[in-house]
Amino acid sequence: MSERTRATLIAIAGIAIIALSAGAALLPAVNGIEGSQVLGALLLAGGLVELGAGALRREVRRFALGAGGVTALAGLLVVVNPTAHFFPNVTLVAAWLLIRGLILAVASRLAEGSVRLWTMLSAGVDLLMAALLVAGLSIATIVVSLFGPTQPLVAGFAWFVAASFIVNGLLLLEVASCERNSVPAEARPA
């Protein structure tokens, strides 16, 4: 596969993941099991796209595949075991963000150039959001126990997933740009 084709496919994957982030906006609009199904479908689709892009990467391929695999697994777990309860999904997403953030943190140490910066940003966003979810979980437990999953709580949760997808999509666009720029000048179209 040519470098140009590789770069184009990675860019398409980045755009697809950013588009999936818009799907997170649907989470506040659906309730119960349907919301879990939307969440699971988003994570599964995002993970599969990330796996495809990871297979095309030259740098840190194993880590990119690992991050995509963790995302797809989280989505599969939600799809296979949908729940109308809010907390199992919050706990699963916090674990997903933590594991994915750690994988990307290690990958950032091995990446080079601007891809290193974007990988660190993606890891940092995921780790920060995992920490915020865990910290907010105790407060949310009281709120949900008393009032059920409120729309602002569900909407906030949706933005955690969307933010991770957006930064990951931007990371893939940067990887694609670097791949495109690695094509020798004589091989580029005039």
Residue type, 84: A
The overall pTM is greater than 0.85: no
Query: Rounded distance, CA 86 to CA 2, Å?
Result: 45
- Per residue in 112-158, pLDDT (tens digit) is 889 999 999 999 999 988 888 777 655 455 445 444 554 444 555 67
Phi and psi at residue 13, to the nearest 5°? -60, -40
Query: Rounded distance, CA 152 to CA 51, Å?
Result: 32
- Per residue in 150-174, pLDDT (tens digit) is 444 455 567 778 888 899 999 999 9
- Per residue in 51-105, pLDDT (tens digit) is 999 999 988 999 999 999 999 998 898 888 766 555 556 778 888 899 999 999 9
pLDDT at 88: 59
Residue type, 23: G
**Confidence band for 189, pLDDT divided at 50, 70 and 90:** very low
Return mean pLDDT, the chain. 80
Residues composing the chain: 190
Q: Are 26 and 155 in contact (CB under 8 A)?
A: no
Query: Rounded distance, CA 136 to CA 125, Å?
Result: 16
Q: Where are the domains of the chain?
A: 3-182
